[in-house]
Structure 1
Amino acid sequence: MTSPDEPDDTDEPGPTEWRTGPGPVGVGPWPGGPGAWPDDPRYDPELLADGDRRNVVDRYRYWRREAVVADLDARRHPFHVAIENLHHDANIGTIVRTANAFAAAAVHVVGRRRWNRRGAMVTDRYQHVHHHADVAGLLAWARAEDLAVVAVDNGPGAAPLETAALPRRCVLLFGQEGVGLTPEAVAGADAVLSIAQFGSTRSINAGVAAGIAMHAWVRAHAAI
């Protein structure tokens, strides 16, 4: 298992951590100047001096990025999210962003190492993202970590997510947009769950499906 360090495949400029808009966003410089700055190593002197316009919750205003990650690490939830990346799935960025919002332990990209980070909106700076060359590698890692693998796919024989008991320690595994999970992923999973649908479409977007499944885990196990 490795962390991705290759650039994404797009030539477009990447998103910025700093929010922009018609008016001021975030907070300005710390009131009172340097003499009033908090004596706490978590705080970043540049942010204290210039203001913090990042897209972070108020709890982390003025904090160094490393301090934010360390604080998240102390309270991440014991579920992971994995997605097969066979054809450069554009949903991976969205999944990373959602995983960050729900404090997932990590996101695992299976297959192609490169992924388009635009949809992550720079949350990959705060969310652990790992790479596995293939499904076999992911499954071996999950077994070594004593994590149940829960595949989410609307294929034959899948049980309803809405009535399933999600394991607390697990990997929620999703397939490539359009083609779904590979046979190897389905065969290696401890459970295969489907999301109930009531309209005419055959499937829903992979990023949306991941968000639904993560929220189902939160409803079952997180302290609200």
Structure 2
Amino acid sequence: MADANYKKITMDGLWNNNPATVQILGLCPLLAVTGSVVNAMGLGLATLVVLMGSNACVSLIRNYVTDAVRLPAFVMIIAAMVTVIEMLMQAYTFELYQILGIFIPLIVTNCTVLGRADAFASKNGVLPAMVDGMMMGAGFLVVLLLLGGMRELIGQGTLFANMQLLFGPVAANWEIDVIHNYGGFLLAILPPGAFLGLGLIIAGKNVIDKRLKDAQKARASDEPKVSRRVRTTGKVS
């Protein structure tokens, strides 16, 4: 696959076709567990690993699976990857696993994972499929972290609280008390706060996209004028 295509895969996953802000997929776990950065990071990393692993496995079997059993085979692969992640989290981050609860096994039903397996991994080689899974997972993780950071900061006045649940005792002092003696803002922690936060993130992305598009149109409209001046005067004025 050409380098230009890898660049497109990267931009699609992180921005142009982001699972959360463009495709609007995986909203149930995204909205449910993003009350803090550590919860968001735990779910985001788990989803990223599942995306990469399932994409790679689907790509490996793409020429050997018939259409009749294609989707069931994909679901079985994804379920196996999620089971591995569950066992690893139970072994190394048990408290965080308990906090995330049902939303770890529900990665199996995440439309982003199955969608990438069917739309991309089943039609491309192993390396491009893994890169696609990594970029889509990274795009999903970034939105989770933004939303989790926003809700934790507004709701509790802190950032990176309880990071030891994911990284162990070394992260016990990572918490940043941004607003001292903060009374908290309950709406930010509750589900309505998740909807409002995601809406702000999507709105911000749309504003940036519009400005980039307007700037591109302005540059495109200026190019014919410069070309005409060059043909007329022989130099750029």
TM over 0.5: no
TM range (shorter): under 0.3
Q: Normalized against structure 2, the TM-score is what?
A: 0.26
Q: Normalized against structure 1, the TM-score is what?
A: 0.27
Q: Higher relative contact order by CA 8 Å / sep ≥ 6: 1 or 2?
A: 2
Q: Which has the larger radius of gyration?
A: 2
